[in-house]
């Protein structure tokens, strides 16, 4: 069932569960975008195609908040905020081990390895930056809060792997074992932006998944 987190005349934010595609691909599986279009078509009894602008994506194994534009004005205004980095994205993650510093800033230059569908460090790569803070520590895992400064391909997954603390369940980036449902312990938990027609700041937040508590007890 689709969970609506926010909706106005121009924008709609929904929860993407881990394992669901943000946008359709060759697999033919129903994507989050298709679910939202169906919701809008039924709610507003629209005939024909429904406009829906994709403003950002989350990787398939990641849970979190996804914001769409219902109108071209919404798409234009929010795309401008994204380009100017005025949208704030906060993530939480369970990482293997414990970061050496309780809090810090990670800066790497990453490029996409298209053959392996991974991000890797490269002198030819683009600058990727995030700030993190360790919130809790268990025996095997740590809970971190991440303030994403740049939104690059697999950025968070790659940067924590590079620092020796891969995200729990993320075997592609070095985690020792998978999690149920092929999910990884990474979630976008907060999104802040200006509405499309006013200067009002909207802040949407969700808790991290309850199942993560079990990892912190290990």
Domains in the chain, please, with CATH?
4-217 (3.30.2350.10)
CB atoms within 10 A of CB 182: 12
34-43, 63-72, 174-183: least confident range: 174-183
Between 138 and 143, the more confident residue is 143
* pLDDT band at residue 182 using 50, 70 and 90 as cut-offs: confident
Instruction: Answer whether 148's CB lies under 8 Å from 186's CB.
Output: no
Q: In the predicted model, is pLDDT for residue 1 greater than 90?
A: no
* Phi and psi, residue 83, nearest 5°: -60, -35
> Which pLDDT does position 46 carry in this prediction?
86
In this predicted model, what pLDDT tens digit does every residue of 80-116 receive, in sequence order? Answer: 999 999 999 999 999 999 999 999 999 999 999 999 9
Active site (catalytic) residues: 59
The tokens describing 14, both together, are 């929904």
* pLDDT band at residue 43 using 50, 70 and 90 as cut-offs: very high
């Amino acid at each position: 069932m689709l969970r609506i987190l926010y909706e106005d005349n121009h924008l709609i934010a929904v929860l993407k569960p881990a394992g669901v595609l943000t946008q359709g691909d060759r697999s033919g599986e129903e994507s989050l975008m298709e679910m939202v279009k169906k919701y809008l078509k039924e709610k507003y009894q629209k005939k024909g195609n429904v406009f829906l602008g994709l403003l950002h994506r989350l990787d398939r194994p990641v849970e979190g908040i996804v914001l769409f534009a219902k109108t071209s004005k919404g798409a234009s205004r929010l795309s401008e905020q994204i380009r100017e980095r005025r949208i704030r994205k906060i993530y939480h993650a369970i990482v293997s081990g414990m970061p050496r510093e309780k809090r810090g800033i990670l800066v790497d230059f990453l490029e996409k390895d298209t053959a392996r569908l991974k991000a890797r460090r490269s002198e030819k790569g683009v600058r990727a930056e995030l700030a993190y803070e360790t919130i809790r520590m268990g025996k095997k895992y740590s809970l971190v809060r991440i303030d994403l400064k740049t939104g690059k391909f697999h950025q968070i997954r790659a940067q924590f792997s590079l620092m020796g603390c891969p995200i729990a369940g993320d075997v592609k980036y070095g985690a020792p074992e998978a999690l149920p449902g092929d999910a990884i312990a990474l979630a976008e938990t907060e999104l802040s932006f200006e509405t499309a027609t006013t200067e009002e700041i909207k802040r949407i937040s969700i808790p991290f998944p309850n199942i993560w508590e079990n990892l912190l007890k290990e």
